[in-house]
Structure 1
Amino acid sequence: MDRLVAMADVKCVKSVGCVSAVGMGTWGMGGGFWTSDHSNDEGWVEALRLGVELGMTLIDTAEMYGGGHSEELVGRAVKGFKRDELFIVTKVWPNHARYDDALRSLEASARRLGTYADLVLLHWPSDSVPICETVKAFEAAVDRGLARFWGLSNFDVRGIEEARSCAKRHDMAAVENRYSLRYRSDENSVIPYAEREGLLYLAYTPIEKGALAGDRLLSELGKKYGKTAIQVALNWYIGMGTVVPIPKAGNKEHVRENAGAMGWRLSAEDWEAISRHFK
């Protein structure tokens, strides 16, 4: 269980070190918006464990997912693996953005995970709490060992720079935004900024909830490489600097497919053809 698949890819970023080139998202596993669902706990845990075994050692969750039950599933799934081979991401909902609330949330997340978070993010900007107050809490969380790094989710460059200006001891390490071949606005701003500043960029909804599986070009290229359209799409992200896609991994079949995006490379010509196709 300690030895990960040799062909697994990694992305090495100045701010956090090396993480798996494809991660696992957990939205919908263990429930939805603050509502838990225990109907498939064993299946979800098995899927996550398989993903780690196949080299997808970055796992993204949040306190909001299933009202914390997703974090509990992640905690169960990672038992027995070497902690330093994992990179666990969780997120604080903006209604917990105040200093004391954020720390309480992170303490609760640590209990549910059974371990610290490698990265904690503010899930969305708060419309009532100054960002500097949340950053102060995140820095305290790092100092207390509740997290190793902090970052932001669903922020633009202006918001990122404002948050970074608040930091006194620990600079921001990562941003997680929506990004896919069909949703590429961050290429004009946040992604170049992250690459320039050495920040990890996590891309959520990278396969558009499976919609990319039906794309003609991705399917044609998949035949060329002996891969599926989804694997071709995920490999396209692997070819991008600090970008790490985090597709949901809800069952073993999808986990195996996502992991199959690693260990090989699109040619430069095919990578460019995909980029042009989706412009």
Structure 2
Amino acid sequence: MEDVKKFKYFTVSPLAFGTWRIGGGYWYSSHDRDNEWVGAIRRAIELGLRVIDTAEMYGNGHAEELVGEAIKEFSREELFIVSKVWPSHADYDNVIKSAKNSSRRLGTYIDLYLLHAPSRVPICKTIRAFEKLVDDGVIRFFGLSNFDVDQIESARECVSKYEIVAIQNHYSLLSRSDERRALAYAEKNGLMYMAYTPLENGILARNEFLANIGKKYNKTATQVALNWYITGKNSLIPIVKASKIPHIEENAGAMGWRLSEEDWRAIDEHFREKSYFLDKFVSSLKSMRPWS
């Protein structure tokens, strides 16, 4: 089975490896586990997670440095590197500066560059900088993160030379409001939709319903949940983060097979009602996020 997802301009692995909390945290760096983190990224790539998601904010840029170190032994053409610019850097000059700094830390060009979240800066200024970065070869494509459909539409009105190719938002079996919104929009318009926190910080890994279905396939609850995403929407790429090799290997075990249509629909129906309550909670938190 060919385990890839094909889009208009690129083909990528069906799972992405996330680097949040690798190399530090919210604008601070940590170097005490560098060897472990580099090894984790390398193992993920070896197992087929060829999309690597990072950001300038992660570890104050140190996550990008660790990615840059980890990818040295791989063919660059086989990888798809995603990074993000922070909203307070969304004006033209700072977008250019941030992207070049991220590229320097990574030691390579950036395949996909995202605005991390909506900003007070007019979006057309950010898009203009993104297009300049494509022209200069610093990035290949650009997109948006934590944007709703109206904001995506406004951003698309700003493009003059290239297209917005990807959206990265929060989505999981327990938080499914984007199915009717940005995910549906991405599916309709051929955009890649990257889903962060698809396992809800381990909640789904401990889910008994998923574990019972997994017994039929000799798979864990984690693997069943991730396969549900892979098997479902054509545009959907879950981002999974792990720093322990056994967890990375477990995540990779979600690829290379498919849930039956019957089991996929059973999972869909089981979690549809449950997702409503978490969606309400998440919505209440969004206004508190320090995007700018």
**TM-score of the two chains, using structure 1 as the length reference:** 0.96
Show CA shifts across 1:97-119 (max 9, x none): 00000000000000000001100
Query: For the residues of structure 2 that align with 1:21 and 1:269, how far apart are their CA atoms?
Result: 21
The correspondence for 2:105, drawn from 101, 108, 112, is 112
Please say if residues 150 and 172 of structure 1, whose CA atoms lie closer than 8 Å, have aligned partners that are also in contact: yes
> Where has structure 1 moved over 6 Å in runs of 4 or more?
none
1:26-105 aligned at under 5 Å gives the runs 26-105=19-98
Tell me which residue corresponds to 1:10.
4
Tell me which residue corresponds to 1:158.
150
Tell me which residue corresponds to 1:277.
270
Query: For the residues of structure 2 that align with 1:105 and 1:221, how far apart are their CA atoms?
Result: 45
Deviation at 1:261, TM superposition (A): 0.2
Show CA shifts across 1:4-34 (max 9, x none): xxx67211112x3210001101100000000
5+ residue gaps in structure 2?
273-292
Query: For the residues of structure 1 that align with 2:30 and 2:12, how far apart are their CA atoms?
Result: 29
Tell me which residue corresponds to 1:4.
none
Query: For the residues of structure 1 that align with 2:190 and 2:234, how far apart are their CA atoms?
Result: 10
Show CA shifts across 1:176-201 (max 9, x none): 00000001010001111111111000
Please say if residues 90 and 121 of structure 1, whose CA atoms lie closer than 8 Å, have aligned partners that are also in contact: yes
Query: For the residues of structure 2 that align with 1:159 and 1:40, how far apart are their CA atoms?
Result: 38
- Residue type at the aligned position of 2:77: D
- Residue type at the aligned position of 2:15: V
- Residue type at the aligned position of 1:241: N
Give 3-state SS (helix, strand or coil) of 1:271's partner. helix
Please say if residues 8 and 54 of structure 1, whose CA atoms lie closer than 8 Å, have aligned partners that are also in contact: no
Please say if residues 8 and 55 of structure 1, whose CA atoms lie closer than 8 Å, have aligned partners that are also in contact: no
Tell me which residue corresponds to 1:3.
none
Give 3-state SS (helix, strand or coil) of 1:226's partner. coil
Tell me which residue corresponds to 2:14.
21
Please say if residues 157 and 190 of structure 1, whose CA atoms lie closer than 8 Å, have aligned partners that are also in contact: yes
Q: Percent identity?
A: 58
Tell me which residue corresponds to 2:228.
236
Give 3-state SS (helix, strand or coil) of 2:203's partner. helix
Give 3-state SS (helix, strand or coil) of 1:266's partner. coil
Please say if 1:207 is aligned against 2:183. Answer: no
Tell me which residue corresponds to 1:188.
180
- Residue type at the aligned position of 2:5: K
Please say if residues 98 and 129 of structure 1, whose CA atoms lie closer than 8 Å, have aligned partners that are also in contact: yes
Tell me which residue corresponds to 2:281.
none
Deviation at 1:212, TM superposition (A): 0.5
The correspondence for 1:218, drawn from 210, 216, 224, is 210
Query: For the residues of structure 1 that align with 2:94 and 2:6, how far apart are their CA atoms?
Result: 32
Show CA shifts across 1:45-99 (max 9, x none): 1011011011100000000000000000000111121111000000000010000
Please say if residues 28 and 65 of structure 1, whose CA atoms lie closer than 8 Å, have aligned partners that are also in contact: yes
Query: For the residues of structure 1 that align with 2:28 and 2:3, how far apart are their CA atoms?
Result: 34
Kindly report the root-mean-square deviation, in angstroms, between the aligned alpha carbons of the 2 structures. 0.9
The correspondence for 1:264, drawn from 257, 267, 270, is 257
